[in-house]
Amino acid sequence: MMLLRGSRVDRSPTGQQPWMAGDVDMLRAMRLFKEVGYDGPSVYDHVPEMMGDSERQEQAVAFALGYIKGLMKAVGVDG
């Protein structure tokens, strides 16, 4: 799930730093996905850099997946 800053016409990715700095309220977005009956995949777009992580960024990927699963749990979606 990519976080963007700006409008539909003029937007830019927030990049990796600072983490979660976009204009999108991700919890609200997840609620809306549930409300409209979206049943497709939810995947991370990028992950934060974490000190001591491997080149494959396993810790950061686990963080991103846990964040998505936490959002799903918060709105009552099984994942």
User: Is 8 a domain residue?
Assistant: no
Long-range contact list for 17-25, CB < 8 A, 24+ apart?
17/48, 17/49, 19/48
User: Is 5 a domain residue?
Assistant: no
User: Is 10 a domain residue?
Assistant: no
User: Is 57 a domain residue?
Assistant: yes
Q: φ, ψ for residue 64 (rounded to 5)?
A: -65, -45
User: Is 17 a domain residue?
Assistant: no
Strands 11-13 and 4-6 turn out to be antiparallel
- Give me the residues of the chain with pLDDT under 50, please: 16-19
Question: Which domain covers residue 42, as residue numbers?
Answer: 25-79
- How many distinct structural domains can be found in the chain? 1
What is the structure's pLDDT at 43?
Answer: 85
Residue 24 CA to residue 21 CA, distance in Å, equals 9
pTM above 0.75, yes or no: no
In the chain, DSSP finds a helix count (H) and a strand count (E) of: 2, 2
User: Is 16 a domain residue?
Assistant: no
User: Is 77 a domain residue?
Assistant: yes
